[in-house]
């Protein structure tokens, strides 16, 4: 089955049930949620998320898996400010519990930024954090996202992710989330050579480690290190290449998640509407 969905919201009265309904409104069969606002750490209790109702609707409509994204303010790589790092560790522990409670096996995490100390110090700090958090009993996988390399982000090269794997004691709890916009911005040739990317990834980490794909076009040329997502076909990667990634046989069981920007509404250009229903349809039809 072609696993395709998008990032969806979780708010209001319906919370997680609303997330599932939103995914279904796009004809998606998987999706991704943040457990609250991605830019802060305020979170509702699991009991308020309408989890049983959401799970019942997923079962009824054949959605078997979804993924959770940790908030991007979490920075395990900060070796300068102990309170940032401590917050990252304690919050990530809670996100693991929340993700498992909601029924997700995958928690996507931006590895972190070294904030000027250099990649080696950043990687050391990230590994320290993962070693503090992960145990043999951790109920979800932490999927490290491939990053665009803007600012001092770690994880724009597969080598850096491989180094994190090598030094993490419970690396069996790690996975990778490949973001096509980020890989392109990091310098990988998603447009012409996705198979070459997979070969390079396989040598360093193993294709079986890919647990999710973020399917986005990029507003900037290859290697720009900018991280600005574009709608499929409106960016520098192009629809054909993104459709090739989406339908790649090596990634058949991996959820593909759109994080493309909202578009101005045709009725009211001041209003923004999600592009996901149309993008999912285009991907299914490959046109």
Contact residues for Fe ion, defined by CB under 5 A: 145, 179, 214
For residues 99 and 35, the answer to whether their CB atoms sit within 8 Å is yes
Kindly state the smallest distance separating residue 95's Cβ from Zn ion, in Å.
19
Return the residue of 68, 227, 254, 279 that touches Zn ion, per CB under 5 A: 227
214 binds, among Fe ion, Zn ion, none (CB under 5 to 8 A by kind): Fe ion
Measured from the CB atom, is 115 or 144 closer to Fe ion? 144
Measured from the CB atom, is 179 or 217 closer to Fe ion? 179
For residues 102 and 16, the answer to whether their CB atoms sit within 8 Å is yes
CA distances from 75 to 40, 57, 64, 113, 117 (A): 12, 34, 30, 6, 13
Measured from the CB atom, is 101 or 233 closer to Zn ion? 233
| Binding segment toward Zn ion, per CB under 5 A, in 84-92, 119-127, 204-212, 225-233 | 225-233
d(CA 146, CA 182): 6
Q: How many CB atoms lie under 10 A from the CB of residue 64?
A: 11
153 binds, among Fe ion, Zn ion, none (CB under 5 to 8 A by kind): none
227 binds, among Zn ion, Fe ion, none (CB under 5 to 8 A by kind): Zn ion
Q: Is 177 helix (H, G, I), strand (E, B) or coil?
A: strand
Tokens 């209003």 — which residue?
271
Rule CB under 5 A: is residue 153 a binding residue for Zn ion?
A: no
Kindly state the smallest distance separating residue 67's Cβ from Fe ion, in Å.
11
Measured from the CB atom, is 24 or 258 closer to Fe ion? 258
Kindly state the smallest distance separating residue 146's Cβ from Zn ion, in Å.
10
d(CA 203, CA 279): 32
CA distances from 122 to 112, 115, 146, 175, 229 (A): 7, 8, 15, 19, 25
The residue of the chain with the least Cβ separation from Fe ion equals 214
Measured from the CB atom, is 57 or 190 closer to Fe ion? 190
CA distances from 161 to 50, 181, 211, 250, 259 (A): 35, 17, 14, 20, 22
- Which residues, at least 6 apart from 105, have a Cβ–Cβ distance to it below 8 Å? 65, 140, 141
Kindly state the smallest distance separating residue 270's Cβ from Fe ion, in Å.
27
Q: What is the dihedral of CA 70, 75, 126, 46, to 10 degrees?
A: -30
The residue of the chain with the least Cβ separation from Zn ion equals 227
d(CA 146, CA 79): 21
Kindly state the smallest distance separating residue 180's Cβ from Fe ion, in Å.
9
Kindly state the smallest distance separating residue 38's Cβ from Zn ion, in Å.
11
Kindly state the smallest distance separating residue 179's Cβ from Zn ion, in Å.
6
Measured from the CB atom, is 17 or 209 closer to Fe ion? 209
* Interacting residues toward Zn ion by CB under 5 A: 227
């Amino acid at each position: 089955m072609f696993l395709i969905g998008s990032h969806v919201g979780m708010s209001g009265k319906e919370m997680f049930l609303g997330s599932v309904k939103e995914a279904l409104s796009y004809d998606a069969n998987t999706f991704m949620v943040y457990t609250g606002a991605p830019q802060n750490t305020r979170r509702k209790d699991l009991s308020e998320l309408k989890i049983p109702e959401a799970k019942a609707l997923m079962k009824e409509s054949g959605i078997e898996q979804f993924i959770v994204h940790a908030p991007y303010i979490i920075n395990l790589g900060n070796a300068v400010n102990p309170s940032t790092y401590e917050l990252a560790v304690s919050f990530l522990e809670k996100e693991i519990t929340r993700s498992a409670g909601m029924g997700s096996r995958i928690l996507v995490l931006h590895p972190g930024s070294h904030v000027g100390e250099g990649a080696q110090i950043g990687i050391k700090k990230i590994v320290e954090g993962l070693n503090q958090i992960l145990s043999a009993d951790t109920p979800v996988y932490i999927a490290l996202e491939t990053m665009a390399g803007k600012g001092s982000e770690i994880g724009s090269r597969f080598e850096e992710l491989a180094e994190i794997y090598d030094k993490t004691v419970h690396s069996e709890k790690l996975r990778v989330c490949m973001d096509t916009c980020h890989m392109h911005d990091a310098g990988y040739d998603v447009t012409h050579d996705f198979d070459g990317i997979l070969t390079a990834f396989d040598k360093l980490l193993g294709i079986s480690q890919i647990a999710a794909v973020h399917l986005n076009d990029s507003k900037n040329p290859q290697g720009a290190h900018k991280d600005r997502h574009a709608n499929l076909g409106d960016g520098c990667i192009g629809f054909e290449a993104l459709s090739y990634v989406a339908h790649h046989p090596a990634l058949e069981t991996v959820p593909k998640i759109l994080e493309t920007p909202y578009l101005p509404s045709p009725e009211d250009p001041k209003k923004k509407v999600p592009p996901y229903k149309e993008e999912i349809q285009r991907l299914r039809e490959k046109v």
